[in-house]
C-alpha cells in the first residue's frame, strides 16, 4: 500500500475511534436507566429523554453492543454492567408470560407491557445479546436463553403457530409472501451464535447456508437489478402493487456484509461476486445524485414508493455502506469500493455527525438537514448501528493499515 493511501486510512481510523468513544459515552451517560434497569433510547439532540417508553429491540441491541465491545476491546466493568442491565430488564419485563417465550415490542419505563407485535425481531436481538454476554462471561444460562429465542424465531419463520395468537397482517387466503428481513437478520444472529457457541457450529453453519440460499432463491432479482423486500411465496416479483416493488437499499447493503462474512468463512468466491452485485445495484438505485446520501426506499420500476418518508436520509443505511464498502475493498481490492467508503464518510461527517453533542442525527430530510427538533434516538435508534459500524470499521482499518 502506498504511503499516502495508508495515511488517509489512518486519518479515517482516528476519526472513527474518536466518534466511537463519543457515541459510547453518549449512551452510557444519557440512556442507561439506573432506576429500573435497561436503556432509554428516545433521546433528543442533547441526550435528554423525550419519551420514557422503552423499545424491546433496543434493550436487546444495547445488551448486545456492550457485550460485543468487551469481546473486541477487552472487558470493562461499565460496559458489562450496561449489557447486564438490559439483559436483566428483558428477562424481568419483556417476555410475554402468556405467549411461550414471545417478547413484547415496547414496555413502559418501569417495564409494564405496552405492545405485542406479530414480528419476532425482539427475540432476534434478545438472542444476540444473550449469546454475546455468554461469550464474554461464560454464563451458561445466557447461552440457553439465546438458543431458545433462536429456535423460536426459526420455528415462527417456518410456519409454527404463533402463541400470541396474532395472525398475519395480510389475509393469507388472498396474499402471502416472503420478506428479505427474515433470512437477512437471522443470518446476522447466526453469525453471533456461531462465534460465541462454537460447540454447535454445524447447526449454525447449516442455518446460515439456508439463509443465504433463500435470499438468492427468492429475493434476489437480476431481471429487475435489485433485491426485493417482499416477494411471493415462490419468490415471484409482484409488480402491480407498491409493496411488491419496494427496494430498501440500506437493507440490501447491510445484507452485503453479512453475506461477505459468510463467504469469507466458508471460502466461497462466487458469493463475494454476488454480494458485489447487490451492493452495486443498491448503491446506484439509492444514492441521491442531487443531494448526496442514500434514499430510504426506492421502487424497482421507478414508480412512487408509498411511505411518506421514502426520500429521507436515515443514519443506519449510511453505517451499512461504510461497513460493506470497506469490506468489499478488503475482500476484492477494488478501488471503487474504497471510493464509496470515503464518499459516504464525507457525507456522514457533514450531515450525521454532531461534534457539539455527540452521536449522530437519526433522521435527515432529503436535502441533508435534520428534521427539527432533531433526535439522537428513537424506538428504532439506539446504541446499535452506529457503534457497530464504528467497531467494524475500526477493526478493518486496523487490518488494512497493518
Residue from the set 73, 81, 206, 241 that interacts with a second copy by CB under 8 A: 241
Cell numbers 438472542 correspond to 127
How many residues sit in the footprint of a second copy (CB under 8 A)? 45
DSSP letter, residue 199: G
Does residue 176 bind a second copy (CB under 8 A)?
Answer: no
DSSP letter, residue 32: B
Residue from the set 112, 140, 158, 402 that interacts with a second copy by CB under 8 A: 112
Cell of 176: 402471502
Residue 6: CB partners within 8 Å, gap ≥ 6?
401
Say if CB 133 and CB 83 are below 8 A apart.
yes
> Beta strands of 127-279 (E only): which ranges?
178-179, 220-221, 226-227, 230-231, 246-247
Query: What does the per-residue mask of binding to a second copy show for 330-369, with x meaning CB under 8 A?
Result: ---------------------------------x-xxx--
- What residues are paired with 231 via a beta bridge? 178
Point out which span in 130-138, 194-202, 300-308, 341-349 binds a second copy (CB under 8 A): 300-308
DSSP letter, residue 162: P
Does residue 148 bind a second copy (CB under 8 A)?
Answer: no
Residue from the set 144, 309, 339, 346 that interacts with a second copy by CB under 8 A: 309
Coil, strand or helix at 94: coil
Does residue 52 bind a second copy (CB under 8 A)?
Answer: yes
Does residue 53 bind a second copy (CB under 8 A)?
Answer: yes
Point out which span in 16-24, 153-161, 237-245, 331-339 binds a second copy (CB under 8 A): 237-245
Residue from the set 161, 302, 333, 355 that interacts with a second copy by CB under 8 A: 302
Q: For 288-298, b where at least 16 C-beta lie within 10 A, e where not — what string?
A: beebbbbbbbb
Chain-centroid distance, C-alpha 311:
20
Does residue 97 bind a second copy (CB under 8 A)?
Answer: no
- The whole-angstrom separation of Cα 114 and Cα 154 is 25
Does residue 76 bind a second copy (CB under 8 A)?
Answer: no
DSSP letter, residue 275: H
Point out which span in 22-30, 74-82, 202-210, 370-378 binds a second copy (CB under 8 A): 370-378
Does residue 113 bind a second copy (CB under 8 A)?
Answer: yes
Cell of 216: 438468492
Point out which span in 6-14, 149-157, 208-216, 299-307 binds a second copy (CB under 8 A): 299-307
In this structure, what are the phi and psi dihedrals at residue 186, rounded to the nearest 5 degrees?
A: -65, -35
Does residue 210 bind a second copy (CB under 8 A)?
Answer: no
To a second copy, the closest distance from the beta carbon of 175 in angstroms equals 6
Q: Which residues bind a second copy (CB under 8 A)?
A: 42, 44, 50-53, 108-109, 112-116, 169-171, 173-175, 240-243, 299, 302-304, 306, 308-312, 314, 363, 365-367, 371-375, 378-379
Amino acid at each position: 500500500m502506498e504511503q499516502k493511501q495508508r495515511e488517509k486510512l489512518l486519518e479515517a481510523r482516528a476519526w472513527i475511534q474518536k466518534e466511537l468513544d463519543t457515541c459510547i459515552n453518549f449512551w452510557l451517560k444519557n440512556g442507561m436507566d439506573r432506576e429500573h434497569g435497561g436503556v432509554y433510547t428516545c433521546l433528543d439532540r442533547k441526550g435528554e429523554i423525550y419519551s420514557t417508553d422503552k423499545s424491546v429491540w433496543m434493550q436487546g441491541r444495547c445488551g448486545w453492543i456492550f457485550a460485543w465491545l468487551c469481546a473486541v476491546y477487552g472487558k470493562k466493568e461499565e460496559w458489562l454492567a450496561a449489557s447486564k442491565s438490559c439483559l436483566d430488564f428483558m428477562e424481568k419485563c419483556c417476555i410475554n408470560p402468556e405467549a411461550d417465550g414471545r417478547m413484547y415490542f415496547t414496555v413502559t419505563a418501569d417495564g409494564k407491557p405496552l405492545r405485542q407485535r406479530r414480528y419476532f425481531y425482539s427475540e432476534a436481538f434478545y438472542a444476540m445479546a444473550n449469546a454475546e454476554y455468554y461469550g464474554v462471561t461464560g454464563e451458561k444460562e445466557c447461552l440457553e436463553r439465546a438458543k431458545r429465542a433462536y429456535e423460536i424465531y426459526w420455528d415462527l419463520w417456518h410456519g409454527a403457530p404463533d402463541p400470541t395468537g396474532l395472525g398475519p397482517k395480510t389475509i393469507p387466503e388472498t396474499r402471502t409472501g416472503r420478506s428479505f428481513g427474515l433470512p437477512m437478520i437471522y443470518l446476522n444472529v447466526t453469525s453471533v451464535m456461531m462465534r460465541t457457541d462454537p460447540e454447535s457450529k454445524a447447526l449454525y453453519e447449516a442455518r446460515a447456508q439456508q439463509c443465504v440460499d433463500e435470499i438468492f432463491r427468492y429475493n434476489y432479482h437480476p431481471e429487475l437489478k435489485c433485491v426485493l423486500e417482499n416477494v411471493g411465496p415462490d419468490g415471484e416479483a409482484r409488480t402491480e402493487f407498491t409493496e411488491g416493488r419496494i427496494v430498501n437499499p440500506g437493507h440490501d447493503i447491510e445484507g452485503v456484509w453479512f453475506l461477505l462474512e459468510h463467504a469469507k468463512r466458508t471460502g466461497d468466491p462466487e458469493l463475494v461476486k454476488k454480494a458485489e452485485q447487490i451492493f452495486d445495484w443498491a448503491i446506484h438505485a439509492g444514492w441521491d445524485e442531487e443531494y448526496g446520501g442514500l434514499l430510504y426506499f426506492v421502487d424497482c420500476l421507478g414508480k412512487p414508493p408509498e411511505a411518506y418518508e421514502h426520500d429521507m436520509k436515515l443514519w443506519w443505511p449510511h453505517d451499512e455502506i461504510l461497513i460493506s464498502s470497506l469490506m468489499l475493498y478488503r475482500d476484492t481490492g477494488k478501488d471503487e469500493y474504497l471510493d464509496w467508503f470515503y464518499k459516504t464518510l464525507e457525507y456522514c461527517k457533514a450531515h450525521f455527525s454532531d461534534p457539539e453533542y455527540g452521536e449522530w442525527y437519526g433522521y435527515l430530510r432529503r436535502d441533508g438537514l435534520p428534521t427539527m427538533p432533531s433526535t439522537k434516538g428513537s424506538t428504532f435508534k439506539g446504541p446499535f448501528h452506529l457503534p457497530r459500524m464504528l467497531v467494524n470499521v475500526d477493526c478493518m482499518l486496523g487490518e488494512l493499515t497493518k
